[in-house]
Chains A and B, each alone.
Chain A
């Protein structure tokens, strides 16, 4: 009997993670500067009148450059929400000790909701229609996380 190779499947991992540096562009740059002054800036579309936060350059549906800046919030209304009992850490689901409250918040003056974390309330209190207000980092760190989270208004 002629020699046959023994089948082998090798488990291999590569020893590197690839890192990237993303330019954020002028819109997010201005947004972050606003957060440092405790202001939430959005842009409005002259065509469909939507007010979107965070700001971006183009409204694709209307084919318009968005260059009309507006200040929105800092308070808003919960439109939709979820309570997270897990988190995803590099793709793996891990149980959380205390739940994470996430809400889609329509800020006063905006038409497009913003996803943010809500703190200082019980999970059962998180409801559609709940009024919340932004909590800013003090002192600011000149980053997106200067809009730290939201908490119940009043």
Chain B
């Protein structure tokens, strides 16, 4: 396999709840333009394109077809990848494989979501609606909670069950979720590409209503409009096209289990907080990256956290710390931007969530941190040698992992 590096990142100028001024393909063009501007490349330098989003969030099938001109993919090989929440990283991993395999040298990975054009709550219901209707046909009551069957649970979805199971097994308290939420929102306040950018205290979070215990309103992510483009290249093209300040992809992994919280039709056998795919995927990525002790060797992490408890949970599931340790790291400031394991210095998905981009922004942020090209004030002060990026999707079942580094390894 060949060495592959992220050589540049392009975000839309903002991630906000509503881009009223542009249509979908115009918005995508902004992030592609930014990537070209940031790398000094032109479309002629691009050998192939990988692309993805969540189709039903915009009601648009195979949107790379309409976006062909706007993302400068005319006459290029292109592949569309979509895996739910993990889409962004799955798209970047496809670009990685395209280069690692020797097929192509420079590949552009494009992800986007314009969630204001649809209703994402409704779009998410589309994951399981036929299954739910089958249960309804057998007497399930969708609305009152009477009877047995429905896996969905409270209005924060099955995330509340996951949070409770996490708390139970880790020994963390609900207050730790508040604290993590406040930390990440405050990080987001420093990031010009974050959506919710307000310095936030634990008290602010605790003032929000409890929706489905243990999750509060202030524990949930926003829905955003935005697009992200990453350009990856082979060693040879890194030498040719860049000054060498790039972020190397040294480990990749992905794994699935089953739609654990939605398998009410055929029996749920997986604890939503168990997340064994995180272990499978991360162990593979660490092995590739030559990492034996992730907690000691990694310098930062970007976790996919649609809900505020998840960063803590993932740190444990991905082996960054032992089970039950993450909330202690939080308590001692280890997860702060200046801490030993800065986690979601960007503010995370919890602060910015244009879903297709959410799992691409994680490795993109790691790459920018490594390259010390962070715009805004969330640059981690210490030198970043190895960074962990994580994506999560499907119906609680997919995990993607990437390790990025300042050296090809």
Do A and B share a direct contact in the complex (Cβ within 8 angstroms)?
yes
Binding site for B on A (CB under 8 A): 10, 12-16, 18-28, 56-61, 63
Within 8 A of A (CB), among B2-59: 19-26, 29, 42-43, 56, 58-59
B56 touches A18 (CB 8 A): yes
A18-B123, A61-B75 given; name 8 further pairs at CB < 8 Å.
Answer: A16-B122, A21-B116, A21-B117, A27-B26, A58-B25, A60-B68, A60-B71, A63-B43
A-B contact pairs, 10 of them (CB 8 A): A12-B133, A13-B133, A22-B117, A23-B20, A23-B23, A23-B24, A26-B21, A26-B22, A59-B69, A60-B71
B137 on interface, CB distance cutoff 8 Å? yes
Pairs A-B, 8 closest by C-beta atoms? A60-B69, A25-B23, A60-B74, A20-B59, A12-B133, A20-B118, A14-B129, A25-B26
Q: Smallest Cβ distance from B293 to chain A, in angstroms?
A: 46
B372 on interface, CB distance cutoff 8 Å? no
Residues of A within 8 A of B134 (CB): 10, 12
Smallest Cβ-Cβ distance to B118: which chain A residue: A20
Smallest Cβ-Cβ distance to A23: which chain B residue: B23
A25 touches B22 (CB 8 A): yes
Smallest Cβ-Cβ distance to B70: which chain A residue: A58
A18 touches B59 (CB 8 A): yes
Residues of B within 8 A of A63 (CB): 42-43, 72
Chain B, residues 92-134, CB within 8 Å of chain A (1/0): the string is 0000000000000000000000101111001100100110011
Residues of B within 8 A of A27 (CB): 26
B73 on interface, CB distance cutoff 8 Å? yes
Residues of A within 8 A of B118 (CB): 18-21
Q: Bound state CA distance, A10 and B136, in angstroms?
A: 12
Smallest Cβ-Cβ distance to B225: which chain A residue: A23
| In-complex Cβ contact of B26 among A15, A18, A57 (8 A) | A57
Q: Bound state CA distance, A21 and B119, in angstroms?
A: 9
Q: Which of B19, B59, B75, B126 has the most CB of A within 10 A?
A: B59
Q: Bound state CA distance, A59 and B74, in angstroms?
A: 9
Q: Bound state CA distance, A22 and B20, in angstroms?
A: 9
A60 touches B133 (CB 8 A): no
A20 touches B129 (CB 8 A): no
Q: Bound state CA distance, A56 and B126, in angstroms?
A: 32
Smallest Cβ-Cβ distance to A10: which chain B residue: B134
Q: Bound state CA distance, A126 and B106, in angstroms?
A: 48
Residues of B within 8 A of A58 (CB): 25, 29, 69-70, 72
Q: Bound state CA distance, A29 and B402, in angstroms?
A: 42
Residues of A within 8 A of B70 (CB): 56-58, 60
Q: Smallest Cβ distance from A152 to chain B, in angstroms?
A: 32
Known: A12-B133, A58-B29, A60-B68. A23 touches B21 (CB 8 A): yes
A56 touches B129 (CB 8 A): no
Residues of B within 8 A of A24 (CB): 23
B122 touches A18 (CB 8 A): yes
Q: Smallest Cβ distance from A35 to chain B, in angstroms?
A: 17
Residues of A within 8 A of B42 (CB): 63
B130 touches A12 (CB 8 A): yes
Residues of A within 8 A of B20 (CB): 23
Q: Bound state CA distance, A60 and B68, in angstroms?
A: 7
| In-complex Cβ contact of A14 among B24, B119, B133 (8 A) | B133
